[in-house]
């Protein structure tokens, strides 16, 4: 079996087992750390590319209101070819962001992320500004030693879990 698929299935099974109270507590902690991170590294009045969490994804209902306090938030729209457009700014809209908050199922200590398998974020991140900070939000246990990678995989710079912020070795 493909190791990416096995790791993805394991992490998604763990998420599915989380209670609503655990998910809420994780979102509160993650968003607290994310707000502090933005203030420390970026300040306000910035453009942010992010995602709208659904189901058990980290950040929950707290993520978008938090990010909106720092500036305009560009949200992805999935195209038929599995690439991402950003609001009304098209494919290149991600290039305007100083902060990119990406979903991930797991991230390793080198900054490689495991997503849901479509490659959409890797294509989008390839068009991001080189100076943009890339942050993945994770639940406990999803920051791992190694994620299986392919040549097209894009790295993130930081992971935020309910335990805090981790700068990744890139």
Domain boundaries, the chain: 3-167
Instruction: Kindly state the average pLDDT of the residues 83-105.
Output: 94
Q: Which residues lie below 8 Å from residue 160, measured CB to CB, with a gap of 6+? A: 30, 33, 34, 37, 58, 135, 136, 137, 138, 166
- State how far the Cα of 1 lies from the Cα of 90, in Å rounded to an integer: 36
Architecture of domain 3-167: 3-Layer(aba) Sandwich (3.40)
| Confidence grade of residue 44 (pLDDT, cut at 50, 70, 90) | confident
Q: What is the pLDDT of residue 112?
A: 96
Q: What is the pLDDT of residues 96-114, one digit of tens each?
A: 999 999 999 999 999 999 9
- State how far the Cα of 84 lies from the Cα of 110, in Å rounded to an integer: 24
Q: Which residues lie below 8 Å from residue 80, measured CB to CB, with a gap of 6+? A: none
Q: What is the pLDDT of residues 3-12, one digit of tens each?
A: 899 999 999 9
Q: What is the pLDDT of residues 153-164, one digit of tens each?
A: 899 999 999 999
């Amino acid at each position: 079996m493909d190791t990416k698929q096995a790791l993805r299935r394991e992490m998604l099974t763990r998420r599915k087992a989380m209670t609503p109270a655990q998910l809420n507590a994780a979102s509160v902690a993650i968003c607290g750390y994310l707000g502090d991170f933005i203030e420390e590294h970026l300040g306000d009045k910035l453009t942010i590319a992010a995602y709208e969490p659904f189901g058990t994804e980290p950040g929950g209902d707290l993520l978008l209101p938090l990010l909106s306090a720092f500036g305009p938030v560009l949200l992805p729209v999935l195209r038929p070819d599995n690439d991402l457009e950003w609001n009304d700014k098209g494919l290149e809209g991600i290039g305007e962001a100083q902060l990119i908050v990406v979903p991930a199922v797991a991230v390793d200590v080198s900054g490689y992320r495991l997503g849901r398998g479509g490659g959409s974020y890797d294509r989008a991140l390839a068009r991001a500004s080189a100076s943009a900070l890339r942050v993945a939000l994770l639940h406990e246990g999803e920051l791992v030693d190694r994620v299986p990678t392919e040549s097209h995989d894009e790295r993130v710079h930081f992971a935020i879990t309910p335990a805090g912020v981790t700068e990744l070795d890139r």
